[in-house]
Structures are given as C-alpha cells and as structure tokens.
Amino acid sequence: MDIRAMVDKAINPSEQGGFVRRQDWFDSLVAEADVALGVLAGVARAARPSPAKQHLVDDVASRPTDSRHAAGLMRINHVGEVCAQALYRGQALVCSDQAIATVFRQAAVEETDHLVWCDERLKELGSRPSLLNPIWYAGSFALGLLAGRAGVRQNLGFMAETERQVEAHLDDHLVRLPSNDLRSRAIVSQMKVDEAGHRIVAENQGAQELPVLIRTGMRLMARIMTATAYRV
C-alpha cells in the first residue's frame, strides 16, 4: 500500500465496517431527532388539503360547549397522529427488510396529513395540542423499536392491529362529535379511510396476528392516552 492509500484509509472510514455502522446509526438518530422536533413543533406540512375545507360554515366554533368537546376529541386524534409518526419511524428504523421499512416510512408520511389537519382544526376551535406530546412521541418511538425487533411479520402485525384499533376509535369519534361539526367529521372520516388502507397494506404484506395479551395491552394504553389527551 502506498503512502497516499494509507492516508486515504486513515481519514476515510469507509473500509472500517464497525465505525461506519456506528456512524450510520448516529446519522439515523440525528435524522429521527430532527423529524421529532418538526412534529412536536407543529411545522409539518400536509400534501393534501384538509377535508374540512369542503365545509365553509363552522357552526361549532361559536358554541362553547360543543367547541370544547370537539376540541378534546380532535386533541386525542392529534395525539394519535403524533404517536403514529413515532411508531412507524421506529419500526422502519430497525426493520431488517428494507422494502417493508419503506412501507412504514410511507405510512408515516401519509399520517403527516392527518397530523396537520388535526392541528389546523384545533386552532380553528381555539384550542391546542396535548402538552404531553413529547412523552407520547418518545414512548411510541421506543415501542416501534421493540416491534421492529420482533421480526418482519410481527412488525407488520403490530401495524395492522394498530390501524384496526384506530379505525374503531375513529368510528367512536364520529358518533361522539357534535352532529353540526361538519369540519371535524370530514377530517375524521378521511382519516378512517386512510387508516384502513394502511391496515390492508400491512395484511397484504404478510402481517401476523398478534397474541391476545399484546392486543389487550395496546387497547389499555390507548384508553389511558385518550382519557389524558382529552383534557391535557
């Protein structure tokens, strides 16, 4: 090896596998931190216009009781989207199958629309996102890492079950939202369509059904989150 080659090797770690892997992980974590900050700061942008725009009249905003109730429900939905961003990015980060990792990343991108729509609706209702969003994000990201380590089919199964439970939760909100809150209802309806699409994709990719204990635990955590996010 000549002197130039020796110098190149010393300053370029490309041939030192362990160092490169550590550097790649560091770069990935920095990128994920940047995404997290964007989500929590509310600077994300939607690729699609909000479904609420099809309803120009907002009867709920002028009715304090209905407005507070709608805001509580939309805050829950916003938290759900914060969690979805973190969960799917965590799952993608450690997924061993890069094609499947792309499925998770694409789902996270599509969930960004929901995040922005809910944030916009909260502002229209004179309210705000949950103060606990940093905790929800960190916990969901850690959960995504655990799910991703369980194996590809189990990872997809976690996505499918998550979306299945979210669909049921959105159905419940369509019942509980004030009947005259057409703007919130339009958002929730479109969210439900999109979540069903994510579930179908996961199932078609070979999602494995999760054990009853895990499904029950997910429902319990969701109840704690929704009860807290409605007010905080």
Q: In the chain, where are the structural domains located?
A: 55-229
Q: Tell whether the model's pLDDT for residue 149 goes beyond 50.
A: yes
CB 163 within 8 A of CB 108: no
| pLDDT above 90 coverage of the chain, percent | 72
Q: Would you state the pLDDT for residue 28?
A: 72
Q: Tell whether the model's pLDDT for residue 126 goes beyond 90.
A: yes
More confident position, 100 or 34: 100
Q: Tell whether the model's pLDDT for residue 16 goes beyond 60.
A: no
Q: Tell whether the model's pLDDT for residue 82 goes beyond 70.
A: yes
Q: Would you state the pLDDT for residue 200?
A: 96
Q: Tell whether the model's pLDDT for residue 23 goes beyond 70.
A: no
Q: Tell whether the model's pLDDT for residue 39 goes beyond 60.
A: yes
Q: Tell whether the model's pLDDT for residue 2 goes beyond 90.
A: no
Please tell me the least confidently modeled range out of 8-22, 64-78, 135-149. Answer: 8-22
User: Does residue 202 sit in helix, strand or coil?
Assistant: helix
Buried b (16+ CB within 10 A) or exposed e, 156-189: bbbbbbbbbbbbebbeebeeebbeebbbbbbbbe
Segment 19-39 shows an average pLDDT of 68
Residue-wise pLDDT for 40-62, tens only, equals 888 888 999 999 999 988 878 67
More confident position, 202 or 20: 202
Residue-wise pLDDT for 161-175, tens only, equals 999 999 999 999 999
Query: How many degrees, rounded to 5, is the angle at CA 83 between CA 225 and CA 220?
Result: 35
CB 137 within 8 A of CB 131: no
Q: Would you state the pLDDT for residue 25?
A: 66
Q: Class of the 55-229 domain?
A: mainly alpha
Q: Tell whether the model's pLDDT for residue 183 goes beyond 60.
A: yes
Residue 215 has a CB neighbour count (10 Å cut-off) of 16
Task: Return the beta strands (E) in the chain as ranges.
Answer: none
Taking the CA atoms of the chain, what radius of gyration do you get in angstroms? 20
What confidence category does residue 22 fall into, taking pLDDT thresholds of 50, 70 and 90? Answer: low
> What does the mean pLDDT of the chain come to?
87
Q: And the tokens for 149? A: 């380590």
Residue 232 has a CB neighbour count (10 Å cut-off) of 10
Q: Would you state the pLDDT for residue 21?
A: 52
Q: Tell whether the model's pLDDT for residue 160 goes beyond 50.
A: yes
Exposed/middle/buried for residue 114 (C-beta within 10 Å: 0-12, 13-18, 19+): buried
48 residue type, one letter: R
